[in-house]
Amino acid sequence: MKKNILTTLLAVVLYFLCLGIGVLLGHLVDSTGNMFYAPAFSALVGGSVYMLLLAKVPRFGAITTLGFFMALFFLASKHGAGTFLPAITCGLAADATARLGHYQDKIKNLFSFLVFAFSTSGPILLMWINPASYEATLLARGKSQEYIDRIMVAPELDKIFLFVASILLGALIGALLGQTISKKFTHKI
């Protein structure tokens, strides 16, 4: 039990590092300063951590805990009301999906990660669902109106499709890489 908790907490720390790398990669692709591509790149980099967590702690709660800590991050970093909801919802749904295959089914685990990848989409979703609230949150955090005007992305159909497709593609590649790494790593132990 203690080993499972420690493994889960280590995965949380590593996934946060993946989130940071995802933000950095997103800035390299889009220099406007918004987080539009961060969820996709976070999923691409974080797939290995996620799949290793599933392999090492095949119990309900590990993925939910990862989602819970992502939600705490969005709350603590003052990204705005509601940005934490996708992290909690996706964490629970992803855990439930992996549980359907007893954490052993490669396809269900892959779908689980496709769901979990949307856990970091809260800021963009808030920007689209309630742009006035999102702008007010940024102003309260000391951001300039020029910055806000630069990072806002209109919820146009092509941009929504690009956002969803980029997350799914990043998560798919990340999950497949993660399953390969996890398979090699767990067979050596």
CA distance 155 to 127: 8
Please check whether residue 147 is in contact with residue 138, taking contact to mean a CB–CB distance below 8 angstroms: yes
Chain centroid offset of residue 171 CA: 9
70 is a domain residue: yes
66 is a domain residue: yes
Low-confidence ranges of the chain (pLDDT < 70): 186-189
Distances in Å between the alpha carbon of 28 and those of 25, 59, 136, 154?
Answer: 5, 37, 27, 21
Query: Residue 189's pLDDT is what?
Result: 46
Interval 71-116: pLDDT, tens = 999 888 877 778 899 999 999 999 999 999 999 999 999 999 999 9
189 is a domain residue: no
150 is a domain residue: yes
Q: What residues make up the domain containing 125?
A: 2-14+28-184
126 is a domain residue: yes
110 is a domain residue: yes
Q: In sequence order, which ranges of the chain are alpha helices (DSSP H)?
A: 2-29, 38-56, 62-76, 85-100, 106-116, 122-129, 131-140, 145-151, 157-188
Number of folded domains that form the chain: 1
20 is a domain residue: no
Please check whether residue 60 is in contact with residue 99, taking contact to mean a CB–CB distance below 8 angstroms: yes
Tokens linked to 109: 């685990």
Tokens linked to 45: 């980099």
> What's the DSSP call for residue 169?
H
Query: Residue 151's pLDDT is what?
Result: 87
Query: Residue 187's pLDDT is what?
Result: 60
Query: Residue 70's pLDDT is what?
Result: 93
CA pseudo-torsion sign 49, 39, 117, 84:
positive
Assign residue 33 a region (left: φ > 0; alpha: ψ between -120 and 50; beta: otherwise).
Answer: left
162 is a domain residue: yes
Per-residue buried b or exposed e for 83-107, using 16+ beta carbons within 10 Å of the residue's own CB: bbebbbbbbbbbbebbbebebeeee
Query: Residue 42's pLDDT is what?
Result: 96
